[in-house]
Structure formats: C-alpha cells, structure tokens
Chains A and B, each alone.
Chain A
C-alpha cells in the first residue's frame, strides 16, 4: 500500500488496516470454525489448523484483491 493515489489521506492507512483486520478475522473464523466442526464430527484433530491457515490465505488473497491493486 505504498503507492498512494492522489486522493489518499493520512487517515486512510489506519482505516484500511482496521477493515483488513476484519477480513482476517472473518476468514480465519469461518474456515477455522468449519475445521473445528469437521474435527468435532470425525474425531480428528488436524482440520482446525488447516482450516485456520486456509482461511487466512483466503483472507489475504481477498485483501490483495480489494486493496492491493491500483484502484
């Protein structure tokens, strides 16, 4: 997010940071939660970490799509 456009403001970075945080929370929560559910039903213990990492990866992908490219 180093390349600022002409319309960027000093506060923009912090606000985007908080929105990005909500993305990370959503991704990790959703797929981590699905992993936990899977673990719960199939008596396994590896789906929760896999889900959390997958969720984080998806979140980061979304953040790049939303905020990373030049708008």
Chain B
C-alpha cells in the first residue's frame, strides 16, 4: 500500500482467522474456548431464568420472556405449527447460542465471531441435519424417505431422474447452504471490521501527511459504526438460521406439502 522504511503495511487476511493452541496444546484454540463459554453462558442463563419465575416478572425475567416469546411466536408457532412444542427448546437454545457467538465478534476480550471459523458452522449444521432427519423418521417411520424423495403428483417414469435431485437437495445442499450462509456472513463481516481497524490505525500512526492521518481516523471511527452493523447482521443470521431450522423440521414432519 504505502511504501515505508522498515516494516510496512500488511493487509488483514485469512491469517487473522487462524489461531495457535492455548495452554500448551494444539487443539484448544480461541474459537473453541469461545464456543464452550457461549454454551456455558446459554445454559446457565436459561436455567437461572427458568428457576426464579414470578407472576409479576422482574426486569430480567421480562427480558428473557421477551426473547423466549419472540422465538416461540415468530418461529415456533408460525412455522412449525401446532406440534412446535418438542422443538421449542432446540430453537430457543440454538438462537441464543448463535446470537452470543456472533456477538462475540464485537465484544472486548473476544473480538472474534466463533462461526467465522467454518468448522463451528458445520457443527451447528450437522446438529440441525440430524434433528430434521430424525424428526422425519419419528413422525413418518420409513415412509419419511418416500415423502422426502418423491413429491406428490410426479409420474413414476420420472422417479429415476427426480430422486437423485431430491436426495441432494434435502440432505446435501440444504445443510450446505445453511452452513455457508452463516459462515460467510460472519467471516466477511469480521474481515471488513478488521480491515477498517488495522488499516485505519496504520494510517493514523504510521502514514505521513495530514490527509492520510485524518483518513485513518475516519476509518477508525467508521469501524465502530461497522461493528454496530455487524451486531445487527449477527442477530439477523442467528434468526435466519433458527427460522430455516424450523422450516426444515416442518418440511420433515408435515403431513403433506
């Protein structure tokens, strides 16, 4: 970028998403610690929130109820319909877990969205895949395969070209797009923030000339705006992930589509 003597500017890249092991191991990494912390927080917060229920809710209880009812009404009832109850815990847990992990990208101490390491997205996706396949088998028995692979009203001589496409769509590309969407959004957002922060502070401290310094300062200020935007994206992606999970379960357990 700007030629400087001694050192110089290195643009942020995928190296910012790779971590070395902590505590002398090579498998405990920062994203992993974050994922565990998020899981602990989600469990503790919901257990505590569910323990001390009052008829007249406290402020904290009111907030948790708001969150719970938001998922129950907009995801559970609207998408899954009358049989939403068994999956409500999953949906609420999944949403809060992803929300927390995505927001870690904007919190001090962490400053890294866990799901921008694609392996963690795949973890969530594999869970969802297992659950909607299991839900289908539980509801329809072996007939779930027929329901998932053969749409109604397709003549039998088309089965041979239809079934592979249906199989790919239901069990491969659905989870694939689910995972890539979450990962790519978090990855790109975090990379953009890092570019603004690193580039801005480099210009501010290293570059010569008042114009470049001012540009660096503006970039730094803008990065704060961008982080707020990232918080919105993080919440949106957690919500979309939850909605699609409900949608996949719903398509597994619906009587006919």
Contact = CB atoms under 8 A, between A and B. Distances in A.
21 contacts: A9-B79, A11-B243, A12-B79, A15-B79, A15-B243, A15-B244, A18-B177, A18-B244, A19-B247, A22-B177, A23-B169, A26-B165, A26-B168, A27-B168, A27-B169, A29-B168, A55-B165, A58-B161, A59-B165, A59-B169, A67-B257
Interface in B206-243: 243
A69 B81 contact: no
Interface of B: 74, 78-79, 81, 151-154, 161-162, 164-166, 168-169, 172-174, 176-177, 243-244, 247, 251, 256-257
B169 A26 contact: yes
Contacts of B154: 65
A41 to B, nearest CB: 19
B151 A62 contact: yes
**Residue among B74, B165, B166 with the highest chain A CB neighbour number at 10 A:** B165
A12 B162 CA distance: 25
A9 B244 CA distance: 14
A58 B169 contact: no
Contacts of B256: 71
A37 interface: no
Nearest to B153: A65
Interface string A41-63: 00000000000000100110010
A7 B81 contact: yes
B166 A62 contact: yes
Given A7-B81, A11-B79, A62-B166, A22 B174 contact: yes
B174 A19 contact: yes
B95 to A, nearest CB: 14
Given A65-B152, A66-B151, 20 more contacts: A11-B243, A12-B79, A15-B79, A18-B177, A21-B177, A22-B177, A23-B173, A25-B176, A25-B177, A26-B166, A26-B173, A29-B173, A30-B164, A58-B161, A58-B165, A59-B165, A59-B169, A62-B162, A65-B151, A65-B153
Interface residues of A, number: 27
Interface string A2-35: 0000010101101110110111011101110000
A16 B254 CA distance: 15
B153 A62 contact: no
In the complex, the 3 A-B pairs of residues with the closest C-beta atoms, listed nearest first: A26-B168, A26-B169, A22-B173
Given A18-B244, A19-B247, A26-B172, A11 B164 contact: no
A11 B169 contact: no
B162 A66 contact: no
A45 B74 CA distance: 49
A1 to B, nearest CB: 13
A65 to B, nearest CB: 4
B177 to A, nearest CB: 5
A58 B164 CA distance: 11
Contacts of A22: 169, 173-174, 176-177
